[in-house]
Amino acid sequence: MMKLSIVSGLKESKSNQEKINERFKNLCDLLKPLNFKGIELSLLEPEKIDVNKLIEIKNSYDMEIPALGTGSTYLRFGYSLGHVEENTRIKAIERLEKYIDFAREVQSKVIIGLIRGRYSSQSSPKKEKLNIIHSLKECCRIAENNNVELLFEPINRFEIDSYNTISESIELLEEIGSDNLKLLIDSFHTYLEEDPIFIWEDMKDIIPYVAHLHLSDDNRRAPGTGHFDFKSFLNIFKESEFKGFASIESIMKPSFEDVAKESSEYLKRIL
């Protein structure tokens, strides 16, 4: 049975532990009555969070933390798995190890998305892809040692330069060959990159690779506010008895509360 979650930050880099706990508890209070089963956390410095307290709160609400977003590591620090400089790649891996440590404790997965970086004019696409592969193999080794799954996300060509399509990403997964590396499929990136004629039939074939979903409409807003065919998309996973999470990852306008409420109601209606 597919479970619903939503992406949120905790502002852990700028808050004390009491504020972090309060923020997480408020999220649980809001989301639990709306039929959400989890909160996907977008974090910058997970090591600053009292993981035991967070576990205590989530367990008291019977909520899960299905995945951890790592994109802010690239956006804020500039660390990436494909970077032309080896030291910067090492720093990206070290940061990911912090996420993996946190994920092990909260029984979460770790997303590999923007952290693979953008191509540099000082390098070449071929070289940076090799850097990504080499770095990702090391991340998989760390994840395997911690019994944590990594989620590789195909991201559209306007935001990132590598592995934009599902087929490219599956080839990468097969090359890496780790049982701890799965696929994250995002409806927005799917809309921008995949063939609209064949995608629904092709999607059935990639189900075994997929462990997590991101949902936002073709306008990057909440599901149901644009033209993406969520009914067809989600029914493929529903009919395949997908047991992972589908997580709302959209522009949170007019407000986080509105997006959570409207998304939950819309998805309940179409499923």
Q: What percent of the chain has pLDDT over 90?
A: 92
pLDDT at residue 119 above 90?
Answer: no
Average pLDDT over every residue of 204-233: 96
Residues 6+ apart with CB under 8 A from 52: 105
Domains parsed from the chain with CATH numbers: 3-270 (3.20.20.150)
Start-to-end CA span in the chain (Å): 12
DSSP code for 207: G
Residue 104: the pLDDT is 98
Question: At which residue do the structure tokens 């693979």 appear?
Answer: 116
Write the single-letter amino acid at 91.
Answer: K
Q: pLDDT of 166-198, one tens digit each?
A: 999 999 999 999 999 999 999 999 999 999 888
Neighbours of 177 (CB within 10 A): 9
Task: Write down the pLDDT at residue 122.
Answer: 79
Range with the lowest mean pLDDT among 134-148, 156-170, 191-205, 250-264?
A: 191-205
